[in-house]
Amino acid sequence: MKNFKLKHFINYAIVSALLIFGVVMFLTGNLRPSTAQLFAQMGYGIILAVSLNLVVGFLGELSLGHAGFMCVGAYIGGLFAVVLKQSGLDMKLPVLIISMLVGGLFAALFGFIIGLPSLRLKGDYLAIVTLAFGEIVRNIFMNQKVFGGAKGLTTGTLIYDTRKSPTLFIVVFIVAILMLILVQNLVKSKHGRAITAIRDNEIAAKAMGINVTFYKLFVFVVAAFFAGCAGVIYAHTTTPVLYSFFSYNYSIEILVMVVLGGMGSITGSIISAVFITAMNFVLQSQLSGDLASLKNVVYAVILIIVVVFGNAPALKSFRERYNISAFFERFRKQDASKRRDDEAKWARVPSKIKMDALLSTDMAPDSDESIHGDIGADNDKGGNK
Amino acid sequence: MITLIDGLSLGSIYALIALGYTMVYGIAKMLNFAHGDVIMVGAYAIVITLSYTASPAVAIIAAVILCTILGVAIEKIAYKPLRGASPLAVLITAIGVSYFLQGIAQLVFGSQPRPVSAVWRQLPKIPLLNDLGITTAAAVTLVCGVIIMVALNLFIKCTKTGRAMLAVSEDRGAAVLMGINVNRIITVTFAIGSALAAFAGMFYLFQIPNAEPTLGAMPGITAFTAAVIGGIGSIPGAMVGGILLGVVEKLCLASPLSSYTVAIKFSLLIVILLVKPTGLLGKITREKV
Amino acid sequence: MKKILALVLVAVMMLATFASCGESAATNYAANNTEYFIGGTGPLTGDASSYGISVQNGAKLAVEKINANGGLNGVNFKFDIKDDQATADKASSAYDQLFEAGMQISFGSVTSGSCEAFAAKAANDNLFFMTPSASAEICIAESNAFRVCFGDPDQGVLAAEELVANFQNIGAIYDESDTYSSGIFEAFDAKMKELNATYTVKTFNAENKLDFSTQVEALKDCDVIFLPIYYTEAGLIAKVAVAKGCDAVLFGCDGFDGIAGQIDETVTNQIKYITPFDVNSTDANVAEFVAAYETAYGVKPDQFAADGYDVVMAIYEAMKAAGVNDVTIDPDTLCEKVKAAITADSFVFTGVTGTMTWDLSGAATKEPVIIELNK
């Protein structure tokens, strides 16, 4: 009980709450098919955002090709599932799970391939390479006859009848929870600290004996695996799987989720993935015709405001005074003496050398606290290299 | 042969756009992702002006002025507050601006492509070239593209502002100490880059006589790739990269591998970056702690 | 505490897994309808928006006419079209929205790609739909799916016969990333081989559908270029042809409808296309439709408007023939009734795009005409 911190479980709680909400709605017969579809979209949105956050928020490399990994998963996993179905395995759940593994593994393989140049390139150069990668993948799949060529892969037999069974979104949320367990434990572990160390200062990390090559590849592979899983899920919701869906616009939409949620904050990614998917859904049904592009304008404005507010040097003091954690701090009922104790402990830690605080647990008064700070702090840290 | 000329003319469009990317990168150290959409605005400006007047000259001037103002406005509103912030933040803001411009264009003009008026396409015939199969549009694009690039080079080498730009891109801190107004230089850079984008939009309309909200996306990314291939920040690099990509694209389209054009274009980028991580003509910067 | 939470998590997953095995009965979302609800999707924005808007206009006109004449046994019809921008995933989610809003019968989607997604969903619910213009075969693969337009193969075969009979040097450009375009082309190609005719073919795809100079360059010397594509790209090709000094006849299919808005007086190439609808026809039925359309929208109807009009009329006639008299009828029941009525030998529908009959395959049988757009 002593070490219990709500924030370590808040992520599971959010996803489970969505899952339970959906199941209850289904059991009481109130679940509309479009809502079930929305749940599935939220589920793979969460998977995509959290996995991209690993690359962008924790490793600190900008990836503009996340939809490319999803594309690999959707095509290969989708085709695999279709073939399984044709070969007589007519059980939806096993087909979904097996194809998800296959799609994920292939995406991971591509993640490995794209991770290789990341060892030589960084920053803007890496960003353009990932963007190029996404476009190449799309273009190659478009030209393969096996995958239906430019007409897309017909996955009609895989589509879940959301009116009769909620299996799809349940599986999606369970996958999301499993991913969260893995990612959270990874981030909290010594490997996670090594990854954030690379983000904060690569040369210093190298000097500390961190195997930069290994960790960079590792992060790319893990992120690609989950993006691939999300792709397979997508293939189970839409027919045909079409290359045009995975354009860099979609990669950017995932990036927007990560940025809005706060780079390096898993909770933030989950909330913004849910929020953006829901908003997409509402706007899509409300706006028709050319008004639909109002959605893009709204996103763009939100994105610009959030980034400018979060990063402008001129607004630094303002930000420190009015960030989310300060906001919550006011509501927190805490023993005043204990708080002062805490502060006194922290005062002993020199604030200049953040790097060391990240790497050595000994320096911090409370090992859990020191690694991650809070959402607001991470938000600020995210962009720094 | 004709494919080669077509490629060169497409390449000079890419080069013009790539110059915008590379100048901004060299001086402001940021990737202006919204640059492609400035081209789109330029193209729309021409299409709309031509629906009121019949004079292409007026349309071109209107496009150049509008794009210049737009470029400066984007810089002041979206990028200036972020000066000194992390490159990632600036890049994401630029992506936001790009989305914003596309969305606004669709709201205002609709997503249906707008054909440019016939006046635009009634170019005079050039007897000798047309007989060879080279279209007037391709010839005009190529010649004007070269003229603009030469003029830009002269501007940078021979005028005070141009040399100040070079100085800022070389070492911003030292430039400030020498009394150069860096903010003004950055604004000038954006203005020039956007004016070039307007010209690119104009040549683009020669090739494809329709304006649509997503028009800038693909040429934008390709030109961006061209700038990176040439070594981002390097002006001759952008020209080389742009022309290289234009020729490669046209050759691919004419070959049996035409459906793999996009893949080939971008693979070229990856291969070049793996061999020379800073591009063909890029400077190698040593990493410092 | 951690253990407890882990247990809770496991319990949630178990519960969810059990729940996922359950099946619930289908709800009839039409239970509260006071009007028969015809729904569907089409591109109201984007490159193909001319089609969607035309279908919307034509179908609205038909609904207004039906309602003005007292509807079906005194019950009016309601019509709704959602924008899918000619993309599959938008059509798919629009389907759910329409279905939950009580859609009972549908005109599917306007374009082939969207209609494929729409059809996959409609098959699950056994919802009757009759598409005005999605000509790909996969769209009507299921038994609940019908169409009023020609099939892609029919047009390809017809084009091949027409071109071989009238021209020597034949070229073709098609969009290999488009279901409609490649569907026509495959049939065209097969027929050309059968006729022992040679021709040159060039392709493009969704990634490079703006710049056609390479393709036109290669086909410059042809007498005719066959273009089984949509009007936006066809307009661009016509302009490139002018710039390149190519004076071939441009021969298209029903997708050419709308090309008049894309070209101007500089385009001198002769343009011909296959269409089931002739706006200048002297047929009384057609003349009445054209006049009503012009009064309502201020422009002459194109083929898509006519298709949209016919679809609604045909659905209405079929429902009348089936003796439907329950406004809250669920889509499944309605589908079986309408299907039986429409495939009956006695059911012959005369619309503005010709006289048609249907069989279980869902395809309409009718006669095409070829239109010349003379400049």
Asked if B205 contacts B193 with a C-beta cutoff of 8 angstroms, the reply is no
Percent of chain A residues topping a pLDDT of 70: 77
Out of C218, C243, C275, pick the residue that ends a domain: C275
Same domain? C93 vs C57: yes
Q: State the DSSP string of chain B.
A: -HHHHHHHHHHHHHHHHHHHHHHHHHHH-S--TTHHHHHHHHHHHHHHHHHH-S-HHHHHHHHHHHHHHHHHHHIIIIIGGGTTS-HHHHHHHHHHHHHHHHHHHHHHH-SS-EEPPHHHH-PPP-HHHHHHT--HHHHHHHHHHHHHHHHHHHHHHHSHHHHHHHHHHH-HHHHHHTT--HHHHHHHHHHHHHHHHHHHHHHHHHHS-EE-TTTTHHHHHHHHHHHHHH-TT-HHHHHHHHHHHHHHHHHHHHSTTGGGHHHHHHHHHHHHHHHSTT-SSPPPPPP--
Report residue A1's pLDDT band, with 50, 70 and 90 as the boundaries. very low
Share of chain C above pLDDT 90, in %: 19
The whole-number pLDDT of residue A103 equals: 94
Q: Which residue has the higher pLDDT, B51 or C28?
A: B51
Q: What pLDDT score was predicted for residue B141?
A: 84
* Min Cα separation B233/chain A (Å): 12
The residue range of the domain holding C217 is 152-275
Please give the average per-residue pLDDT across A242-271, as a whole number.
87
C73/chain A closest Cα distance in angstroms = 31
At A375 the pLDDT is 40
| Whether C166 and C207 share a structural domain | yes
| Residue linked to tokens 């234009």 | B246
Within-domain flag for C7 = no
Is A27 an interface residue toward C (CB < 8 Å)?
yes
Asked if the structure places residue B120 within a domain, the reply is: yes
Task: Tell whether C293 and C359 lie within a shared domain.
Answer: yes
Across A7-16, B273-282, C272-281, C289-298, which has the greatest mean pLDDT? C289-298
Give the residue, C114 or A159, on which the prediction is more confident: C114
Domain boundary residue, one of C275, C302, C323: C275
> For residues A300 and B96, is the Cβ–Cβ distance under 8 A?
yes
Look at residue A352 and tell me whether its pLDDT is greater than 50.
no
Q: What local confidence, expressed as pLDDT, does residue A163 receive?
A: 64
Q: Are residues C156 and C270 in the same domain?
A: yes
More confident residue, A266 or B170: A266
Whether residue B71 contacts residue B193, with contact meaning beta carbons closer than 8 Å, is answered with: yes
- The minimum CA-CA distance between B3 and chain C, rounded to whole Å, is 7
Q: How many C-beta neighbours within 10 Å does residue A291 have?
A: 14
Q: What is the pTM of this model?
A: 0.82
Continuous segment of H or E residues that includes residue C37: strand C36-42
Residues C157 and C266 in one domain: yes
Range of the domain at B265: 2-275
Q: How many CB pairs under 8 A join A and C?
A: 126
pLDDT band at A372 (very low <50, low <70, confident <90, very high): very low
What long-range pairs does C277-284 form, CB within 8 A, spacing at least 24?
C277/C301, C277/C302, C277/C303, C277/C306, C277/C307, C277/C352, C277/C353, C277/C354, C278/C369, C278/C371, C283/C352
DSSP string, C240-283: HHHHTT--PEEEE-GGGTTGGGT--TT--S-EEEEES--TT---
Q: What is the CATH number of the domain that holds C309?
A: 3.40.50.2300
Residue C294 has pLDDT above 80, yes or no: yes
Same domain, C164 and C263: yes
Tens digits of per-residue pLDDT, A54-81?
998 898 888 888 999 999 999 999 999 9
Beta pairing partners, C272: C251, C372
CATH number for the domain harbouring residue B163: 1.10.3470
What length does chain C have?
A: 375
Is a pLDDT exceeding 50 seen at residue A359?
no
Sign of CA dihedral B235, B236, B238, B242: positive
Q: Which residues pair with A107 in a beta bridge?
A: none
Element (H, E) at C78: strand C77-83
Q: Please answer yes or no on whether C236 and B209 come within 8 Å at the CB atom.
A: yes
Q: Is the pLDDT of residue A373 over 50?
A: no
Interface test with chain A among B74, B92, B107, B268, by most A beta carbons within 10 Å: B92
Count of beta carbons in the 10 Å neighbourhood of residue C267? 20
The closest alpha carbon to C155, from C194, C179, C181, C132, belongs to C181
Query: Taking CB atoms and an 8 Å limit, are C211 and B254 in contact across chains?
Result: no
Element containing residue C31 per DSSP (H, E): none
Domain boundaries, chain A: 6-288
Residues near C192 by beta carbon (within 8 Å), at least 6 away in sequence: C160, C164, C170, C198, C199
What's the number of domains chain B is made of?
Answer: 1
pLDDT digits (tens, 9 = 90+) for C102-127: 899 999 999 888 898 899 888 888 89
pLDDT of residue A162: 65
Q: What's the confidence (pLDDT) of residue C213? A: 82
Arithmetic mean of pLDDT, A237-243: 82
Cα–Cα separations (whole angstroms), residue A239 to A207, A350, C91: 50, 56, 10
pLDDT for the residue C221: 85
* ipTM score assigned to the predicted complex: 0.84
Q: What is the pLDDT of residue C2?
A: 64
Q: State yes or no: pLDDT of A348 exceeds 50.
A: yes
Instruction: Flag whether pLDDT at A384 surpasses 50.
Output: no
B280 in any annotated domain: no
* Tens digit of each residue's pLDDT (9 = 90 or more) over C184-242: 898 999 999 998 888 888 888 777 778 888 888 888 888 899 999 888 888 888 888 88
Distance from CA of B7 to the nearest CA of C (A): 10
User: Closest Cα of chain C to A205: distance in Å?
Assistant: 32
User: Taking CA atoms, what residue in B is nearest to A302?
Assistant: B96
| Nearest-angstrom CA–CA distance, C264 and C271 | 12
Mean predicted confidence (pLDDT) in A298-327:
75
- Euclidean distance between CA atoms C221 and C248, whole angstroms: 8
pLDDT of B26 reads 84
Q: How high does pLDDT run on average in chain A? A: 78
Chain A environment of B272 (Cβ under 8 Å): none
Task: Please indicate whether residue A348 or residue C244 has the higher confidence score (pLDDT).
Answer: C244
What are the percentages of helix, strand and coil residues in chain A, rounded to 5? Answer: 80, 0, 20
| Spans in chain B with pLDDT lower than 70 | 123, 129-131, 133, 284-289
Domain boundary among C275, C307, C326: C275
Residue C80 forms contact with A (CB below 8 Å): no
pLDDT computed for residue A232 by the predictor: 93
Between A329 and C272, the higher pLDDT residue: C272
Residue A105 pLDDT level (bands cut at 50, 70, 90)? very high
The letter for the amino acid at C313 is M
Q: Is C373 helix (H, G, I), strand (E, B) or coil?
A: strand
What CATH class is the domain A6-288? mainly alpha
Residues in chain B with CB shorter than 8 Å from the CB of A379 are none
Which range has the worst mean pLDDT, B253-257, C39-43, C126-130, C368-372? C368-372
**Domain count of the fold of chain C:** 2
In the 8-state DSSP scheme, what is residue A56?
I
CB contact under 8 Å between A140 and B260, yes or no, is: yes
- C301-357 tens-digit pLDDT: 888 899 999 999 999 999 988 888 888 888 888 999 999 998 888 888 888 888 888
User: What is the mean predicted confidence (pLDDT) over C64-79?
Assistant: 89
Partner chains of C (3+ C-beta pairs under 8 Å)? A, B
What pLDDT does A367 receive?
41
Do C242 and B121 count as a contact with CB atoms less than 8 A apart?
A: yes
What integer pLDDT is reported at residue C93 of this predicted model?
A: 83
